[in-house]
Amino acid sequence: MILAFANLKGGVGKTTSAVSIAAALARSELRVLLVDLDSQANAAYSVGVPSGSSNGALVEVLVDGRPIDEVLWETPIAGLDVVSGGLQLSTRQLDIMRRGYPTTLLERALAPLRHEYDFIIVDCPAGLGLLALIGLQAATAFVVPTTAHHLGLESLDLFFRGLEGLDKELRPDVRLLGILLTMVDHRTKLTEEVCTALRRTYGRAVFRTEIPINVRLAEAPESGRGIFGFQSWSRGASAYSRLGAEMLRRARRLGLSSSMGGFGFARRACTAANG
């Protein structure tokens, strides 16, 4: 399964979730590859790739056609490999566009690795630009992390509209695995309001598991060992562990039936809820 973490909005926990879920799955003895599609390379840094390292850069795969197995980086987390993002993913976007069928580049690059890993997790940059499309096109399913703020809800709606507008660019069988509430702080009235509104609007598309605000998750990237290597007993680690289990259950269901539908599922749920 190739799972992309994406949202129109920045700073909503896409990278933290992609990295922590990749680590949670690897802890369950699954073979996991983390693909960092962001020029900030935060995902790769969070699992031990030194900042500014040119080793293992995805841009060489996307622009120069280098085989992806030549740029894999073994992380300190057992069972987890990473392909690093980097600044050149942004500065060389025109070169990426000049290649034939640019949105399918990652999908094609990953094809030889599909049987090497149980899960491939793709951390997309914010927005629906070329890099995010490359990630979504490669994915069999995607997760949309969002914060419990009104602007987060607004962006979510726009994101699904954007996807519908782009449906000819994306593979028709891509599935929404779920919407994930991150940085949740139930001490505030705003959180209660937004979580309730989100669950009313999107129903079971929203994961039951919520990720609480937890400073350990913000500290973990510096350790390069993921949240489980940093503080496996933290609230953040335990939430991502539970999310991993919930995701696996959903993924199994998804494999058995297509009842969850594509990304149109969330829009339809929204339309139904709003009459």
Binding site for ligand ATP (CB under 6 A): 10-16, 38, 42, 125-126, 182-183, 211, 213-215, 217-218, 236
* Smallest separation (angstroms) from Mg ion to the CB of 198: 21
Task: Answer for the pair 35, 120: CB distance below 8 angstroms, yes or no.
Answer: yes
* Smallest separation (angstroms) from Mg ion to the CB of 101: 25
The smaller minimum CB distance to ligand ATP, of residues 14 and 175, is found at 14
* Smallest separation (angstroms) from ligand ATP to the CB of 184: 8
b/e 25-60 (16+ beta carbons within 10 angstroms → b): bbbeebebbbbbbbbbbbbbbbbbbeeeeeebbbbb
Task: Answer for the pair 2, 110: CB distance below 8 angstroms, yes or no.
Answer: yes
Instruction: Using only the alpha carbons of the chain, give its radius of gyration.
Output: 17
Under the binding rule (CB under 5 A), the answer on residue 175 touching Mg ion is: no
Could you tell me whether strands 73-74 and 80-83 are parallel, antiparallel, or unpaired per DSSP bridges?
antiparallel
| Contact pick of 14, 27, 92, 175 for Mg ion (by CB under 5 A) | 14
Under the binding rule (CB under 5 A), the answer on residue 7 touching Mg ion is: no
The smaller minimum CB distance to ligand ATP, of residues 125 and 178, is found at 125
The partner in contact with residue 229, picked from Mg ion, ligand ATP, none with C-beta cut-offs of 5 to 8 angstroms by kind, is none
Place of tokens 């939430």: 239
- Return the amino acid letter for 44: A
* Smallest separation (angstroms) from ligand ATP to the CB of 12: 4
Terminal CA-CA length for the chain: 34
* Smallest separation (angstroms) from ligand ATP to the CB of 181: 10
Under the binding rule (CB under 5 A), the answer on residue 15 touching Mg ion is: yes
Task: Answer for the pair 130, 99: CB distance below 8 angstroms, yes or no.
Answer: no
Under the binding rule (CB under 5 A), the answer on residue 9 touching Mg ion is: no
Which residues form the interface with Mg ion (CB under 5 A)? 14-15
